[in-house]
């Protein structure tokens, strides 16, 4: 295969709990992660010259080894003695440093893409192991779907009943949040409320979107919301506009709202964009991994 196109999809955290801290300083999490339809377009092509060329649609995003897509290509070339080069184009549509794992999704897509382009024959499990070398959300982005993520993100258990289809409004404040800074500011021992992870899994099994909305919870809000109180205002506005529930995704600052009807989600997106003067507001939906065409979307 000489060239291919992939869709690197964003994720939201329906619940995010922190249950401890490892000796190396990494926090132990328990989170239900869910893929949404919003994606970065990834085009990859083999080139004769032994180099990695990255082009992306955002001029300020690095194209060298600070870009996670570059790191993924570099790792695969080194591990598997690939002496040909690769050209990668990223059409960046997922907001950056937003809590939506956009960089991790690009990275995972390039791991998958290198596997296919160079006919490496690696299994999903092998790809996940390589992914974990590059970042804690990346194994999830290789797998995707509805997953319970534990440990530091490396223990992934598929949630049996997939998330029911619903519509998701993503609204990002024009600030970048550093994930490391948010975790270091978290008083995890002092947390009074923990998400009801099992309750959320049950609500998904019952396909009860209203119940799911009531159970959305993320302990990292205790750090990010005091820094950016507008996050709480956007959550309130989402609820006022008919969302079943709203929550900050990951370490923020993106807020997502869950809606039963597509039209309501679209109208809420328009209204929030206007009211808060935000540029990055997207109406998207839950993405089920088995709906994608293998080849363009399948990660296997």
Q: Is 295 annotated as a binding residue?
A: no
Say whether 137 is catalytic: yes
Site string for ligand ATP, 246-285 (x = CB under 6 A): ----xx----------------------------------
Farthest-apart Cα atoms in the chain, separation: 57
Query: Is 179 an interacting residue with respect to ligand ATP (CB under 6 A)?
Result: yes
Nearer to ligand ATP, 64 or 81 (CB): 64
Beta bridge partners of 4: 44
* Distance in Å, CB of 245 to ligand ATP, minimum: 20
Exposure string for 103-126, b = 16+ CB within 10 A, e = fewer: bbbbbbbbbbbbbbbbeeebeeee
Beta bridge partners of 171: 255, 281
d(C-alpha 55, C-alpha 140), whole Å: 25
Query: Is 152 an interacting residue with respect to ligand ATP (CB under 6 A)?
Result: no
Q: Is 104 annotated as a binding residue?
A: yes
Out of 69, 231, 248, 258, which residue is the one contacting ligand ATP (CB under 6 A)?
A: 69
Nearer to ligand ATP, 70 or 259 (CB): 70
Out of 96, 156, 161, 278, which residue is the one contacting ligand ATP (CB under 6 A)?
A: 96
Out of 47, 97, 152, 278, which residue is the one contacting ligand ATP (CB under 6 A)?
A: 97
Q: Which residue is nearest to ligand ATP (CB)?
A: 103
d(C-alpha 175, C-alpha 270), whole Å: 20
d(C-alpha 264, C-alpha 277), whole Å: 19
Distances (CA, A) of 104 to 7, 19, 139, 140: 12, 23, 9, 9
Query: Is 103 an interacting residue with respect to ligand ATP (CB under 6 A)?
Result: yes
SS3 164: coil
Residues that bind ligand ATP (CB under 6 A): 61, 66-69, 90, 96-104, 106, 137, 179, 250-251
């Amino acid at each position: 295969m000489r060239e291919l196109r992939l869709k690197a999809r964003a994720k939201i955290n329906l619940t995010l709990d922190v249950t401890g801290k490892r000796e190396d300083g990494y926090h132990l999490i328990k989170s239900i992660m869910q893929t949404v339809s919003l994606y970065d377009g990834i085009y990859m092509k083999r080139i004769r010259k032994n180099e990695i060329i990255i082009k992306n649609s955002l001029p300020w995003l690095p194209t060298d080894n600070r870009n996670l897509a570059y790191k993924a290509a570099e790792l695969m070339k080194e591990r598997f003695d690939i002496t040909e080069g690769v050209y990668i184009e990223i059409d960046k549509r997922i907001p950056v440093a937003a809590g939506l794992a956009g960089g991790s999704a690009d990275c995972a897509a390039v791991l998958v893409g290198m596997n296919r382009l160079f006919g490496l024959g690696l299994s999903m499990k092998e790809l996940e192991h390589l992914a974990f070398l590059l970042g804690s959300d990346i194994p999830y982005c290789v797998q995707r779907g509805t997953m319970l993520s534990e440990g530091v993100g490396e223990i992934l258990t598929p949630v049996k009943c997939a998330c029911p289809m619903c519509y998701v409004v993503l609204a990002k404040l024009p600030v970048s949040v550093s994930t490391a800074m948010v975790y270091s500011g978290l008083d995890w021992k002092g947390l009074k409320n923990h998400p009801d992870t099992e309750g959320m899994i049950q609500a998904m099994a019952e396909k009860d979107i209203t119940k799911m909305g009531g159970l959305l919870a993320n302990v990292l809000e205790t750090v990010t919301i005091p820094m950016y109180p507008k996050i709480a205002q956007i959550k309130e506005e989402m609820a006022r506009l008919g969302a079943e529930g709203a929550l900050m995704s990951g370490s923020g600052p993106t807020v997502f709202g869950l809606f039963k009807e597509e039209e309501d989600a679209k109208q809420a997106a328009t209204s929030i964009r206007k009211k808060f003067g935000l540029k990055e507001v997207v109406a998207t939906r839950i993405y089920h991994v088995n709906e994608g065409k293998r080849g363009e979307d399948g990660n296997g």
